[in-house]
Each structure stands twice: as C-alpha cells, then as structure tokens.
Chain A
Amino acid sequence: MIRIAVVGLGKMGLSHHAMINAHPRVKVAAVCDATGYVLDVLNKYTGVRTCTDFDAMLAEVPLDAIIIATPSSMHTKMVNAALAKGLHVFCEKPFCLDTAEGEAATRTATEKGLVNQVGYHYRFVGAFQEVKRLLDAKAIGEVTHILAEAYGPVVLRPKGSSWRTQRAQGGGCLYDYAAHPLNLVNWYFGEPTTVGGTVLNKIFSAETDDEVFGTLFYQDGKSAQISVNWSDESYRKMSTKITIWGTAGRITADRQECQVYLRDTATPPAGYQPGWNSRYTTDLTEPVWFYLRGEEYSAQLDYFVRCIEEKRAHDNVNSFASALATDKVISMMIADAERGPAPTSAVAPVVRAAPRKWWQALLGR
C-alpha cells in the first residue's frame, strides 16, 4: 500500500481525494487544509486523519507520496518540503509561479529519484493522445500551425473573491485555463523561442485576466495561436479544442473526438483513409478503476501510483520538467503583455492604391 496525503481541499483536492481514496493500492494517510471546517466534517463522517499544519503533518504522519492541490502560490514551498522528506509528489497545475524556483524543485526531484508529476490531465485524454500519435507518425505531413482554444463559464460577473480571482495567488484565466492548451501545444510542438501579441484582458475580474490571446513562434517557422476566455457563458463547461494544419491535412480534437482530414498526398496511418476520419472518446478511452469526472482524472492518478510502484521517476508524462516548460511560456506571455503591443503599431500602414475600376476610368475619376 502506498501511503498518500492530500493537501488543499478545494475543488481539485476533494476530487483527487475521492479518486485516490478509492484506489485499491493506496491508503490516504491524511488530508491537510488550512480551513478546519471542511476537515472536521470529513473527519467526523469518514474518519480520515486530518491536519491543519502542513509541516507538522510531514513530521508526524508516515508517508510515501503527496498530492498538492493548494493555491498555486503555495506550490513551491510545499513541493520542496515534501521532496526534502523524500516523498513522491503530484502537484496541481500551474506548477510554480516563479520559474527559477520551479527549476530548483525539478532538479531536486531528479537528483533524489522521486516521482514528480503535475496535473495536466489533458495529456490523459484519449483524443489528445491520438493527436500526439498522429503527429509523431507525420500523418498530416509537415505541420505549420496550431490553434489552441479553451472557453468556459467561470467568471461571469464583477463579483466574488477567492484565490482564483487574484493573479498574485496564481488565479486568473492564464494560469487556470490557458495553462492547459499551452501545455498541449508544448507537448505537440516543443518549447517556443518567442511569444508575441499577447493580450491579457480583464472582462469582469478586478485583479486578474479573463481572456488570453497570443502567438507562439518556433525555430523552424511553425507558429501557434492561443485563444482562451473563461467568461464565456455559451459553453456549459470548460471546453478545449486543438486545430493543427499540416501540408497533408488537418487535425481537430477536443475531449470527445478527434477529426482528421487527410489529403491525397498523405500516407494514412493504420485505420485512417484519405478524406475525413473521426475517432470518438468511446474508442479512444481506456477504462479506469474509478470514475468521478472524466477518465483522464483517474488515469493520471493511477499513472502516478504506477510510476511509484515501478520506480519510474525519470521521463514520465507530465513531469515537473515538462510542467516547468509550460510555466516558462506563461511567464513569457506575462512579460510580453506587460511590454504592450509591438512597435509596428506606430508605423503608418502602407496603403496600396486600389486599381481603378472600369467605370471609374469611364467617368474619368
């Protein structure tokens, strides 16, 4: 049995707790949160050991691993303390708000040979995994551009205050929503060399961004565009969509399905044909031991458990190192947005005179 503690009992923490507690080879040894109320209710009704002091918990409770789901601004401190104790760490996204601190934590985890994973669950969604397989197989030829979008109804009025509504705490559309499509783009394309045209706009929030747009540039001429808005009520829940263009076709994927158009010039992978192809979540999803809110959430925790059991601390999916790459893109976008629009905006645009129409010539105008 792997002894795990869950820290931070917000939306993500509670759902992680429920899933990992149901895992047949895991024992939840303690849960930890700053607010005693939720803890007391949990203890009263489920008997789980509860702690309000994180350091005291690390000192007193024998553990093998930890799941950290606290506000992002607290991640670094807790990750470091857990690593120092020799614990395997699963941390929620975004990983670290300060990339230098993230780098140090990544180094420590690697040196100590501890399993390290960050909760970018989209890498466990069947349709997005299929995209990765298709790209690796060069199914759509040379890829030129990716459009990564995410929309959903989170902040819909100028009200409310929790850590998620404050940029300094790691809240906001960029950290909360855009981090996911950015992470997918990194997975498919690698790390960008530069970013440009970043827009981090407030719509309803006072202290953070509600919409995120920007362009990522790559060494080989590829580019990616990000379009994210968490104040869009027309979506029932968060909806992430990836569109990728290549010389031999196009891929569109969301959580439910992967649609692929292959040109006659493409070499279709097994099971694909020229023209339109669709793969649905029903074919692409592997069963999980326990379902709460999508197979991907269960699958990523099971993967974490298996990495611990099989002592696979290196080169795992969603390692600290790969999450750090996403943190770096986020930092680049913040810096780019703070710098403001690029200077070309001040240059008078070149206006090319439109050719005269036949009737203008006729009228001598």
Chain B
Amino acid sequence: MDRLLFGDNQFFGVNHMSEEKARAQAMRFQDIKAVIEVLDNAMDEGVKSFMCTTHDRIALVCDHMRANPQRYENFEFMPCMPYAHKYANAVTEDGMLGTLKRFMPDEGFLNAAVRGGMSLARKDIEGVTTLLIDAEMKMFAGLKTPVIFLQNVVVDLLLGMGFNEAFRIFADHVKTRHNAEPGFITMNMPMLLDVLEKLGIDNPIVCSNINKIGFRMCGGFDAYEKALREKKFRAIAMSVFASGAIPPEEAIEWICQQPNIEAIVFGASSRGNIRNTAGLVNRFWAKH
C-alpha cells in the first residue's frame, strides 16, 4: 500500500470544522472536471491511491479514468462503502425493507432476485449484503480496486450491536468476488480490533482517526497507542490534522513517530497543499 492515500471529503462538502467551508468546496467541485483536476495534481505529486466514498459522482471519475487508460494506468481506487446518507434518507421515505428493495442491483436480475429473495426469506444477511456490495462496486468495473473499505457508520453500527458476523461476510466476499483486501473504517479502533481478532480476520486493514490531540479517538488516546504498539494490524491514519486543529508540520512529525502505521489518508484541494503534505511525509517518515 502507498504511504499516502488521497481522501475525498473535500469533494463532497464534508468539513468537520466549518459548514461554510464545506459549502464553498461543494460549489467548487460541483463540476467533476474540478475533481479530476485535483486528482491529476495528486497523481503528478506521486499520490495515486484514492480512498473514495461510493457516491454517485465518483462514477463520473471512474468513467473518465476508463476513457484514458494510459494516463491512469497506475491509479488505484480504494472504495469506501456504502455512502450512508443515501440509505438513511431513503429509510425515511420507504422504511427499512423498502430501502433494501430500492438499492438492489438491477443487472443480473434473476441472480439478484434469487440471492436477495431467498436471503430475505431465510433472514440470512449474507445474500443481501453481498448483493449490496456488488451493487456499490459496479461503478469501478475494469479499474484497480486493491482495497475495499466498509464505512465507519456501518462498521460502528454493527460493532455496537455485536453484529460481528457481518464483518466476516464482508471480508470473505471482498476477497473472493472482488479479489481485493477488505478494510474497515472505524471511530472505535481498539474495540474493533478485539472483535476482528476474535473472528479470526488476520492482520486486518483498519483506518481510524489517529492524531496528536486525540480527536475522535474513542476508547481513548492510550488505548490507541497501546493498540499500535501491540496489535497485529495494518493501520491507516485519518484525520491526522484533526480537521485543521494541529499545524501540518507538527501533525505529520507526530504521526510519523507512531509505530505500525502503514499509510496516512489526507484530503486537499490544491496542488500546493498536496505537495506540502507529501513533502512533510517524505521528510519525517524517512527518519523512522
């Protein structure tokens, strides 16, 4: 895995500090060309792995990459699914089962109907889950997706309820059907690691907030430090700048001192910021 992964919050009006800033970004990136331009900048700075939500608009990025195979030969997507707001808003309109029906894939109708219908009838989530994964992966057909992540809202909902079997189903399906490594995004890293260990999911890829001020590191800063020192997993750090609360140099210097961190995911909207972050990582990571 690359050391630096490019995130997508900035493209979709997600900003944990300011709604004004989020809106300005949503406006700037409403033309998909603006998104692609920033991705091109990232690539030219050597950042070529894109951790992105399975938002409808990412499909447009995928189309562009498929149309220019040479330019994007080395580009990799790391899809993060599902885009939860799409489902949450649908639940209000259609209720739980209605929502499931709405998002069932339309291609391979017979297969979907059998897998989904049987699975719904047997109260077996495996069929429905794998169908939803396949539906979300449709937009990436023909592109490289070496890691597929389960988004934190879903991971943490399942984790809280103790719905652990779902993690195994996700991991198995991603490996066998999509030939990818499963990844898990969480806000409760120490707790998730214990569960994945019990399930026998070995050396999992786990992405969580890891930053110097302990922002959104649930379970506590000490538990995170301990997990990084003692647990066998492939850690990806997100929110290393704690939404801008830590100056870039200080944030990167600190994260590079932590043990067992395989990659950092960051978002940026300008080539200058991408270059600065990449430069800081090269400078500090090399020392450790």
Interface residues of chain A, those whose CB is within 8 Å of chain B, are: 10-11, 14-15, 17-19, 21-22, 35, 37-38, 40-42, 44-48, 153-156, 159-160, 162, 164-165, 236-237, 239, 241, 254-257, 280-283, 287-293, 295
Contact = CB atoms under 8 A, between A and B. Distances in A.
Given A14-B157, A21-B160, A291 B12 contact: no
Secondary structure class of chain B's binding surface, majority of residues:
helix
Contacts of B166: 45
A45 B163 CA distance: 6
B161 to A, nearest CB: 5
Contact of B215 (A22, A40, A164, A282): A282
Interface in B182-222: 187-188, 191, 213-220
Nearest to B157: A18
A267 to B, nearest CB: 27
Interface residues of B, number: 48
A347 B124 CA distance: 66
A295 B214 CA distance: 14
A3 B106 CA distance: 44
Given A153-B89, A236-B12, A289-B219, A15 B163 contact: no
Given A154-B92, A256-B15, A257-B18, A288 B161 contact: no
A283 B245 contact: yes
Interface of B: 12-19, 22, 26, 85, 88-89, 91-98, 123, 125, 153, 156-163, 165-166, 187-188, 191, 213-220, 242-243, 245
Contacts of A160: 92-94, 98
Contacts of A17: 160-161
Pairs of residues from A and B, 10 with the lowest C-beta to C-beta distance, nearest first? A18-B160, A160-B93, A291-B187, A282-B245, A291-B218, A22-B160, A46-B162, A18-B161, A162-B95, A292-B156
A154 B15 CA distance: 21
A222 to B, nearest CB: 26
Contacts of B97: 37
A257 B245 CA distance: 12
Contacts of B15: 256
B33 to A, nearest CB: 21
29 contacts: A11-B88, A18-B160, A21-B160, A40-B123, A44-B123, A45-B165, A46-B163, A47-B162, A153-B89, A154-B89, A156-B89, A159-B93, A160-B94, A162-B94, A236-B22, A236-B85, A241-B19, A256-B16, A280-B18, A280-B245, A281-B16, A281-B243, A282-B245, A287-B218, A290-B219, A291-B156, A291-B187, A291-B218, A292-B153
B17 A18 contact: no
A19 B158 CA distance: 10
A236 B243 contact: no
